[in-house]
Structure 1
């Protein structure tokens, strides 16, 4: 960004400028899957994530602190405990997380929906 150089979507993904490049031909399936997940979220959760993102854009440290406060306030909930346990079961906090975070999320969601 500082140099003004253009990057292809694949280069931007490799450089972690974007988290994932989805080819146009795959976009409909990707969005369908993503919206299927998001449609099951509670309004409280959507508001929480919007808050974290909005604060993080202005002040990344403040956003991280807010995310931690939200997490700690909800960590004892049975629902949150189930999600954490399932996430860990599918490879959270292991080498798989560094290599396949999206796969862990999809496996976790699949089990929780099952």
Structure 2
């Protein structure tokens, strides 16, 4: 059994960040589809800006995102800092604020999660 935390930090600007998003979603999907594996997909920092686009059914990555949406959470502080807190709330996604308003990476490591960032 593998436990992975896939963290999307890439913002929405630039072709390279679109690639990082796509690769992060594909990695999370692979873990989600593997029996016995556990995955946490976390949007943090500028990565929180992807939520409104991914929730849009017309987005190129909406369908891929839907395959891992149940395993998705968002940094509480960063969703506000990047102005997407309303979209996150409207989507009904879990927000994480375990460590000074941010997700606790230490807790994930303590729970034996491999941390993978995109």
**TM-score between both structures, scaled by the size of structure 2:** 0.30
Bigger proportion of residues as strand: 2
**TM-score between both structures, scaled by the size of structure 1:** 0.30
Bigger proportion of residues as helix: 1
